[in-house]
Amino acid sequence: MIIIRLDRMMADRKMSLNELADKVGLTNVNMSNLKTGKMKGIRFETLNSICLALDCQPGDILEYKPD
């Protein structure tokens, strides 16, 4: 199971969902779906943009937990 820790990184960076969505180029709805784990996948291009905007590594926002 992959857990999305995007909310934690956004809080650490004091960045709102709207601000991150603007920087990444996603709609607020899609960014919200990603943050809450409702999306089935993410493009590497989008992950790259998120990491650039939040100044983080993919492992800072994605966590693997065995089922």
Q: Report whether pLDDT(67) > 90.
A: no
**What's residue 48's pLDDT?**
97
How many angstroms separate the most distant Cα atoms in the chain?
A: 34
Tokens of 24: 């990444």
Look-up of token digits 């960076």: 13
pLDDT per residue as tens digits for the range 15-61: 999 999 999 999 999 999 999 989 989 999 999 999 999 999 999 99
Quick one: CATH architecture of 2-64? Orthogonal Bundle (1.10)
Question: pTM to 2 decimals?
Answer: 0.90
Look-up of token digits 């994605």: 62
Going from N- to C-terminal start, the domains of the chain cover: 2-64
